[in-house]
Amino acid sequence: MKKINPKNCLMASALMLPAVASGNGAPVDSEFSYRYSSYVEDDIADDVELTGGVKSRYEIDVHQMRLLTLIGDDNSLEVNWLGESLSGASPVATERTANGVGLIMSGASISEKRQDTSVRFTHYGELFNWALEGGVSKENDYESSYVAGDLGFSFNAKNTSLNIGFSTADDDLSPSDAEVFNRVLSAEKETSSYSLSLSQILSPNNIILFGTSFTESEGFLTDPYKTGDSRPTTKEQSAYSVQLRSFFDAADAALHFNYRYYSDDWKMQSDTIDIEWHQNIGTDMQLVPAIRYYSQGETFFYEPYEPDDQPEFYSSDFRLSPYGALSLKLAFIQRFSSWSYTISYENYDSDADYSFNNVALESPGLVDFTRLTIGFDTKW
Amino acid sequence: MGGPCELRFFHHSEKSVRKVFDACRNEVLRFEKKYSRYLEDSVLSKINQHSNATKVDSETTAILNYAQTAYQISDGLFDISSGVLRTIWDFKSKLIPEQKVVNNCLKRIGWNKINWNDGEISVPKDMELDFGGIVKEYAADAVKNIALNSGITNGLINLGGDIVAIGSELTEETKLSSSISLKESNGSAFADSDYSANQGWPIGIRHPDNSDKACCRINLLHGAVATSGDYEKFFIQNGRRYCHIFNPKTGYPVSNAASVTVIAPLCIVAGTLSTLGMLLPVKDAIAFLKQSEVTFILTYREEDKLKIVRD
């Protein structure tokens, strides 16, 4: 029999001491953050048969700001703002060709602006935390608003926390040039989401989190800018995730491992694996290489191109097609007194060959992109 | 808390750090009030005064459960009921008690004689508990948590030699003018800017036979260090050293290592392991600490020379 490790026995017992378990987690400083991202999709690849429209795809400039202020010792108010401008072209449809499938892109004239604003109030109690949140998102052809709330509490000497959440959203859609292109004039969508998560401190350096969420949507779920697109008017989605955080003293680094399984009643399933290594360099720098692997199956009504028999539901949207994606990211964070600066670069590559499944015909609309983000955070 | 306490925190805002400092001091005072042997209305005194069952709060329950774990893993060497030995060993008069007196006192010792039933305790009339070796260390861990939860990323907590580090001691270059540290020594708080460059916190381990000298130095980054030594209170009689650390099985002061320093993730655990390192014969102590997979420094005297084992 293996001899017991006395330190481990004592640690397990000591972690039950209430003052050793963490506090209510209320922030102690006001914070402001700014991020700018340049998101650039690759042009349509040369091996894709382009039967209409332009080769270039979206470029999106995103500005994000976050302000967190304290209200007394146990409350915080957080305001998030996002403004983005989008330009370029997107896939409109696919069609059967002599060689397989061709892609029809839009013209390069798309130019959109979007603004999101949300406000979140959080109360940090001794055992309970709760938060209320609401927000609006506006585009020239889209308006969405949501309210959400969540409640978290800790027990087992604060080693275990349970969090439940609820949100509901209303979306109104009024596609541009609807009459010219015979698009729906206006439409609505309602979404409700429920979530439950449990986190457990395993040891001072290890924490595990299990999460599950359920979302139901009802209304117009079709993409009005895609030709021939017709989707069911309801959708039920569920997701299950496990997250592990481990800190390694010897390396002065933390490993973040996330796995997520998703499925919906459109018969789509997906798996996501995310691995990040947060390496401290001295006391003021951090380098974070990360890799994400993603694989999804197709929805029951996805077809690479429109079938002749005109089914009730049909879409050739690449986002509903079977594919996999590999994303590599490197982030660098430098702290400097009460300021910290961050720069990160991500390369995302999607391909039917990355999928868990055997894909007979790859969607020609699959996207690859790069994203460069710079920003800063400050506290006072 | 017995012995000087020092808190050093680096933070960009002086206002914030003072708030954190006050919260930490209140926490230390809370422990003192709750678990002091000297205060009549402390939780500990109430437990010791009642021989019938006393209900205790969840924090005291966790402390007693911890003490029970320590007792179990050490085959009874770590025993919070052994404090009564203080009453028969008089360090002022330097008298060795008669064996009969020691034997009688041993009858009043033994965690196994105490009725502890998760939340309810009854201590027999002639026995008493003492949280020395647990509560001060626990307080250091608690203070670290308050500091961490308040956004302190670099700090050092020293409660009478029980030390917990957060991050590194900041250098002049990284500190800049907006960072300050608060230092309390015997109750006075002042900003201190006299620091040298280092990764982690440099900590000197006291030489057992010379309080002004360090026998070795360590660098502590995120963790706790506790030291037990035979030098704090002792007398020498007929060439033998009698110190304040008692073996609860023999009733006699230990005569093994001169000092044991342990580095562990929590100060309370470092404290228990260093005490056990003193209670075991040197060879067994080294094996025990190795089995615990902790960094330790053990010193012992051999022919008037101090030997140092570092692992």
Q: Is the pLDDT of residue B180 over 70?
A: no
| Other Cβ atoms within 10 Å of B200 Cβ, number | 18
CB within 8 Å: B291 and A16: no
Q: Within 13 Å of residue A217, how many CA atoms lie on the same side as its CB?
A: 18
Q: Which comes out higher in pLDDT, residue B103 or A19? A: B103
Mean pLDDT score of chain A: 90
Q: Is the pLDDT of residue B196 over 50?
A: no
The pLDDT score that the predictor gives to residue A24 is 62
| Other Cβ atoms within 10 Å of A71 Cβ, number | 11
How many domains does chain A divide into? Answer: 1
Burial of B2 (0-12, 13-18, 19+ CB in 10 A): exposed
Q: Is the pLDDT of residue B197 over 70?
A: no
Chain A with chain B: Cβ pairs closer than 8 A: 121
Query: How far apart, in whole angstroms, are the C-alpha atoms of residue A206 and residue A69?
Result: 30
Q: Which CATH superfamily is domain B203-310 in?
A: ApbE-like domains (3.10.520.10)
In A315-374, the residues whose Cβ lies within 8 Å of chain B are: 337-338
Q: Is the pLDDT of residue B191 over 60?
A: no
| pLDDT tens-place string over residues A293-312 | 999 999 999 999 888 888 89
In B61-90, the residues whose Cβ lies within 8 Å of chain A are: 62-63, 65-66, 69-70, 72-74
Collect all residues of chain B within an 8 Å Cβ-Cβ radius of residue A4: 73
Residue A184 lies in a domain: yes
Q: Is any Cβ of chain A less than 8 angstroms from the Cβ of B133?
A: no
| pLDDT, average across residues A113-125 | 94
SS (H, E, C) chain A: CCCCCHHHHHHHHHCCCCCCCCCCCCCCCCEEEEEEEEEEECCCCCCCEEEECCCCCCEEEEEEEEEEEEECCCEEEEEEEEEEEEEECCEEEEEEECCEEEEEECCCCEEEEEEEEEEEEEEECCCEEEEEEEEEEEECCEEEEEEEEEEEEEECCCCEEEEEEEEEEEEEECCCCHHHHCCCCCEEEEEEEEEEEEEEEEECCEEEEEEEEEEEEEECCCCCCCCCCECCCEEEEEEEEEEEEEEECCCCEEEEEEEEEEEECCCCEEEEEEEEEEEEECCCEEEEEEEEEEEECCCCCECCCCCCCCCCCEECCHHHCCEEEEEEEEEEEEEECCEEEEEEEEEEEEEHHHCCCCCCCCCCCCCCEEEEEEEEEEEC
| pLDDT, average across residues B279-290 | 94
| Chain position carrying tokens 């108010």 | A77
Residues A311 and A301 sit within 8 Å (Cβ to Cβ): yes
| pLDDT tens-place string over residues A137-177 | 999 899 999 999 999 988 876 678 899 999 999 999 998 88
A64 to chain B, closest Cα gap in Å: 24
Query: How far apart, in whole angstroms, are the C-alpha atoms of residue A126 and residue A158?
Result: 10
| Other Cβ atoms within 10 Å of B296 Cβ, number | 23
Nearest CA in chain B to A280: B167
The pLDDT score that the predictor gives to residue A204 is 67
In B104-123, the residues whose Cβ lies within 8 Å of chain A are: none
Which CATH architecture describes the domain B38-130? Orthogonal Bundle (1.10)
| pLDDT tens-place string over residues A18-66 | 888 655 667 767 899 999 999 999 999 888 888 888 889 999 999 999 9
Show the tokens assigned to A31.
């914070």
Residue A18 lies in a domain: no
Residue A24 lies in a domain: no
Query: How far apart, in whole angstroms, are the C-alpha atoms of residue A353 and residue A360?
Result: 10
Domain that holds residue A204: 30-379
Backbone φ, ψ for residue B209 (5° rounding): -110, 10
Show the tokens assigned to A275.
């691995």
CB within 8 Å: B66 and A17: yes
| pLDDT tens-place string over residues B216-236 | 888 887 789 999 998 888 888
Nearest CA in chain A to B170: A283
DSSP B166: E
Residue ranges covered by each domain of chain B: 5-33+136-199, 38-130, 203-310
β-pair type (A100-105, A49-52): parallel
- DSSP string across B123-153: --TT-----TTTHHHHHHHHHHHHHHHTT--
Residues A316 and A306 sit within 8 Å (Cβ to Cβ): yes
Q: Is the pLDDT of residue B82 over 70?
A: yes
Residue A6 lies in a domain: no
Q: Is the pLDDT of residue A68 over 90?
A: yes
Q: Is any Cβ of chain A less than 8 angstroms from the Cβ of B268?
A: yes
CB within 8 Å: B291 and A5: yes
In CATH, what number is assigned to the domain containing residue A142? 2.40.160.40
B169 to chain A, closest Cα gap in Å: 9
| pLDDT, average across residues A170-185 | 86
pTM for this entry: 0.66
